[in-house]
Structure 1
Amino acid sequence: MKEKNNNSGSIKNGGVIAAAALIIIIFAAALFFNGGKKGNNISEGVSTNAGSGTDRSESGKNVKKSGKKGNEPLVGSEFALDTAITVMLYDSDNQEILDGALALCSKYENIFSATFPESELYKLNHRTTQTVKVDSELAYVIDRGLYYSKLSGGAFDITIEPVKKLWDFKAEKPSLPDEGKLSEALGKVGYENVEVNQDTVTFKDPDTSIDLGAIAKGYIADRIKEYLVERGVKSAIINLGGNVLCIGRKPNGSDFVIGLQRPFSESVFETIVVNDISVVTSGVYERYFTYNGKNYHHILNPADGYPYDNGVLGVSIVCKNSIDADALSTTCFSLGAEKGIELLDSIPDAYGFFILDDYSIKYSKGTEDLIAK
């Protein structure tokens, strides 16, 4: 484990709710089209604001598209999965392929959303029997979520949903949950109460419910990549609200260079060079509100129902599959820097940046090799 001091300012809470979560800046010859205007560009890149979770909210609206011109990618964007979605194809001008990639987001929202009444997960959480046959993809993601819940010793727990419902990070006048309701909800949390056997999910407690907001977007990114690769795409970037997955390299053979956002800022604390890999960040600045001078963010501790307060502002994970990067970013944040780095050091080809509340940075083994020279 190595540490770097990166202290250059204090936190600015600014406003009640952070409208943008993590900002990952992808340095590439690309434009993010916003009503015909260039998005927030830093250097020659594209700035994208990230949301969090898979709650349904005006999905599929505000679709933006740009035709491919010269070396610029073919770009499509929309709002789905409760966040901004962007897909950039560097080596294809096939609009049908791009549209198909974006359409997958709506398909999976109908599986993984915890708030949309017609989704598979919502129906599972509102079941009338404790053994339920479900969509095979939902079963798989729940099973992976249980794996990381166990791996973290419950610090990451996909059954946090009863507690999560009590926190409203979008409220105009946010407040803390009622202590009695919070205590009752905590009694319903426990990943040990869920079992998956192929396409069947069994609950030991009728009050247990599941939230996949910390893992589903990663799975969806992997499926979009699979869809694109099957159609001959060899160079692309998938950005599901900051869950970034690169396909191959840029057409000229060079790697993608990705900037990692400095918390509560639009500046970059590190730039990394990657190809055919995923980069996902979890942090206290994604969704939060300030109440009586204290910052309350959306990464909740299953032990007490309150946001984690462990000295970590953000964790960025780099690994091959986005589902693992997604789950590991929250898992490692929840574990804290020391235990999170210990975990990453035990997982082959998984790397992590931990930015602490004094803005120093700690790295898991091998992570510094990814930094742009």
Structure 2
Amino acid sequence: MGSAISRRRAICIMAAAAGLPLLGHGGRAEAATTAITWNGRALGAPATLILNLDDKAKAARLIERVVAEVSRLERIFSLYRPDSALSELNRTGAIAAPPADLVSLLGASRDAWEATDGAFDPTVQPLWILYAQHFSAADANPAGPSEDEKRRALSGVGFDKLRFDRDRVVFARPGMALTLNGVAQGYITDRIVDLLKDAGVANSLVSMGEARAIGSREDGGPWRIGLAASEDAGAPDSILNLVNRAVATSSPDGFHFGDSARFGHILDPLSGEAPRLYRRVSVVAPTAAAGDAFSTAFSLMKGAAIRGVCERHSDLGVDLVSTSGAHARFGRIG
């Protein structure tokens, strides 16, 4: 199989406060007078929290609460922890009395699934397993899985085959499995934002894999977010100004099946293919979960279809770079 999974999106966080330099992925920066920066990980992705607080003790207590909350949510959403609620669901096909956060996230996922006519679909996991198993074989056909194999995997894909409420989550047919990798980092970001707001934080930038701004910078200026198609990009290809908004970025180059770059990890739940339409797709939205889900779906959709979704959802904005290098923007960016 190809290189190990590191991350499927990349966002550079820039100019968090006056004098604060560019933050790389997982790197540290010297904080300005009132900016306190924490770097860690959430669901395997680099995570950053920038707090504009003079009270260092309060900031330390908040960071402890953030770390505990991220850990709690990982025990629900992680695809790779055998003790997570998601892993139990995929093993058994049903769970009773599911965590409230799982039900909430599935509700948000259903909204994105409906808005994108099925392009966003967390039940795509059987297809991902097919590609992973195919390319892990020593004699793997570089052309990818056969059409028959894809059809069989697709028989277990479809969000309409998932039943959920506060009492249970159930797969309606055998062979189904769920991945929340296309939305959970955004959801965790939103939960951390809620935690900080409840604690009275009025100015912060939170990135638990996706970024969301609380208010503006302390000096009144917007938070500046640099966008790039890969974690190791030397510089962002575009910069956004955010105030009380979120941004999420998806790129097929985050992980590849096989030794070539032909098959990225963003798989189409409708066709079973791994199309390469864009170098990256970034979505600005009111919440990080919405941005996360729509950036995943838009990676599979043509420009006209993306524009149509933005016209129906006026709170969304898109900044994307096609495989040819063309840069386009739709909807509400600022």
Equivalent residue, structure 2, for 1:287: 255
Equivalent residue, structure 2, for 1:246: 213
Once structures 1 and 2 are overlaid, which stretch shifts more, 197-206 or 75-84?
197-206
Equivalent residue, structure 2, for 1:356: 322
Equivalent residue, structure 2, for 1:74: 36
Code of the residue aligned with 1:351 in structure 2: it is G
Code of the residue aligned with 1:313 in structure 2: it is R
- Residues 87, 237 of structure 1: 8 Å contact kept: yes
Which whole-Å CA distance do the structure 2 matches of 1:282 and 1:156 have between them? 12
- Residues 77, 86 of structure 1: 8 Å contact kept: yes
Code of the residue aligned with 2:24 in structure 1: it is S
Code of the residue aligned with 2:293 in structure 1: it is A
Equivalent residue, structure 2, for 1:231: 199
Count the aligned residue pairs: 325
Against the structure 1 CA distance between its residues 285 and 178, is the aligned structure 2 distance closer, same or farther, given a 3 Å change threshold? Answer: closer
Which whole-Å CA distance do the structure 1 matches of 2:95 and 2:242 have between them? 43
State yes or no: 1:27 paired with 2:19. Answer: no
* Structure 1 counterpart SS, 2:180: coil
After superposition, give the CA deviation of every residue in 1:257-276 in whole Å (9 maximum; x if it has no partner): 11111568332221111112
* Structure 2 counterpart SS, 1:201: strand
Among 209, 229, 234, the residue aligned to 1:266: 234
Which whole-Å CA distance do the structure 2 matches of 1:29 and 1:244 have between them? 12
Which runs of structure 2 are paired with 1:77-226 in the superposition (5 Å)? 77-91=39-53, 92-93=55-56, 94=58, 95-127=60-92, 130=94, 132-168=96-132, 178-179=145-146, 181-226=149-194
* Structure 2 counterpart SS, 1:85: strand
Instruction: State the 1:125 CA deviation.
Output: 1.6
- Residues 7, 45 of structure 2: 8 Å contact kept: no
* Structure 2 counterpart SS, 1:268: coil
Equivalent residue, structure 2, for 1:338: 304
State yes or no: 1:48 paired with 2:35. Answer: no
Against the structure 1 CA distance between its residues 199 and 28, is the aligned structure 2 distance closer, same or farther, given a 3 Å change threshold? Answer: farther
Aligned CA-pair RMSD: 3.1
* Bigger proportion of residues as helix: 2
Instruction: State the 1:144 CA deviation.
Output: 1.7
Once structures 1 and 2 are overlaid, which stretch shifts more, 109-118 or 73-82?
73-82
Which whole-Å CA distance do the structure 2 matches of 1:213 and 1:18 have between them? 12
After superposition, give the CA deviation of every residue in 1:279-335 in whole Å (9 maximum; x if it has no partner): 1001122222564x54321100123433123x2222101111111111111122222
Against the structure 1 CA distance between its residues 20 and 146, is the aligned structure 2 distance closer, same or farther, given a 3 Å change threshold? Answer: closer
Among 298, 302, 305, the residue aligned to 2:269: 302
- Residues 186, 288 of structure 2: 8 Å contact kept: yes
Among 306, 316, 319, the residue aligned to 2:282: 316
* Structure 2 counterpart SS, 1:335: coil
After superposition, give the CA deviation of every residue in 1:105-146 in whole Å (9 maximum; x if it has no partner): 111110011231111111112226x57331111011112212
- Residues 214, 243 of structure 2: 8 Å contact kept: yes
* Bigger proportion of residues as strand: 1
Which whole-Å CA distance do the structure 2 matches of 1:319 and 1:27 have between them? 19
Code of the residue aligned with 1:81 in structure 2: it is L
Instruction: State the 1:171 CA deviation.
Output: 7.1
Code of the residue aligned with 1:109 in structure 2: it is E
Which whole-Å CA distance do the structure 2 matches of 1:143 and 1:328 have between them? 14
Which whole-Å CA distance do the structure 2 matches of 1:70 and 1:331 have between them? 37
Against the structure 1 CA distance between its residues 172 and 71, is the aligned structure 2 distance closer, same or farther, given a 3 Å change threshold? Answer: farther
Code of the residue aligned with 2:118 in structure 1: it is G
Code of the residue aligned with 1:361 in structure 2: it is H
Against the structure 1 CA distance between its residues 171 and 101, is the aligned structure 2 distance closer, same or farther, given a 3 Å change threshold? Answer: farther
* Structure 2 counterpart SS, 1:76: strand
Instruction: State the 1:173 CA deviation.
Output: 8.2
Q: Gapped runs of 5+ residues in structure 1?
A: 1-14, 32-40, 50-63
* Structure 1 counterpart SS, 2:298: helix
Equivalent residue, structure 2, for 1:12: none
* Structure 2 counterpart SS, 1:285: helix
Against the structure 1 CA distance between its residues 148 and 29, is the aligned structure 2 distance closer, same or farther, given a 3 Å change threshold? Answer: closer
